[in-house]
Amino acid sequence: MDKKKKSISIPDLHSDILDMFGYPISSSDCLCKRDKIIYVYGYMMVVKAVDDEPEILAKCIFDKEPAASFCLQYFNKHGKHVISDEVDQAALVVTADKSTKNKK
């Protein structure tokens, strides 16, 4: 008799990765505004990493510890953690012209 491998659901994977990094795993775990901001930031980083790396996801989805496996393979490929302290400066660029136009 074949033993079927059990896979993890994507939302569970997201929660497990957030938990590994010490982030709140749901909005109901947030006690204050700071926690909510941290949760949203972490969740966005995890979703982006999982969406950007379907081949890593496919390799680790049936592992005994898929979140740890995904994070390790992601780190080995990119040299940074799924949830990193680095901020993508290109995503945060706001020109001076736009900021002054909004104030008028």
- pLDDT tens, position by position, for the chain (104 residues)? 444 556 678 889 999 999 999 999 999 999 999 999 999 999 999 999 999 999 999 999 888 999 999 999 999 999 999 998 765 544 444 444 454 444 44
pLDDT of residue 70: 96
pLDDT of residue 8: 74
Domain residue ranges in the chain: 10-103
What sign for the dihedral angle of Cα 29, 35, 37, 43? negative
pLDDT of residue 89: 47
- For 1-104, where are the E strands, in sequence order? none
Q: Which backbone phi and psi does 9 adopt, to 5 degrees? A: -75, 155
Please give the structure tokens belonging to residue 91: 């995503």
Name which of 41, 42, 71, 44 is nearest 56 in CA terms.
Answer: 71
Say how far apart CA 19 and CA 24 lie, in whole Å: 7
